[in-house]
Amino acid sequence: MTALITPELVLLDLKAGDRDEVTRSVAERLASAGRVTDLDGFLGDVRAREAQMPTGLPGGIGIPHARSAHVLTPTLGFARVPDGVDWGAEDGPATLVFLIAAPEGGGRDHLSILAALARRLVHQSFRDELLHAPDEQTVVAIISREVAP
């Protein structure tokens, strides 16, 4: 089974002007890793989902996600954005962004990843660990321990 998240799917200290830049930067990593077959097609699916309802959560979190025909395996990409970007949450910008990519037919995978992530993100300690992780491998270890199905 392919790991949900790997170090090459993690961006630390990303500088980006808006949520589209963040999403594109993480999605490019998914495409480079061979998990997304058509970058622009996948980004279109993410934008369509985001247009239904912004995926910003309280506590500085953005969780863009989509099921897409352009995704080969359930994948989680991550970006830490120290300056934050508006993700539609009432309490302010997102500094931790999780991009969930699921194959078109992978509804349950997508929802189980989203649910597991949401359960952990309510805990300040989990968010703090991710905010202060020194490297990509540490981020992967934290997320794998807490979220991986």
Residues marked active site are found at: 65
Give me the residue label for tokens 């981020």.
Answer: 139
Q: Taking a C-beta distance cutoff of 8 angstroms, is the pair 17, 86 a contact? A: no
Give me the residue label for tokens 């993410």.
Answer: 46
C-alpha span between 62 and 105 (Å, rounded): 23
Burial 13-23 (b: 16+ CB within 10 A, else e): ebebeebeebb
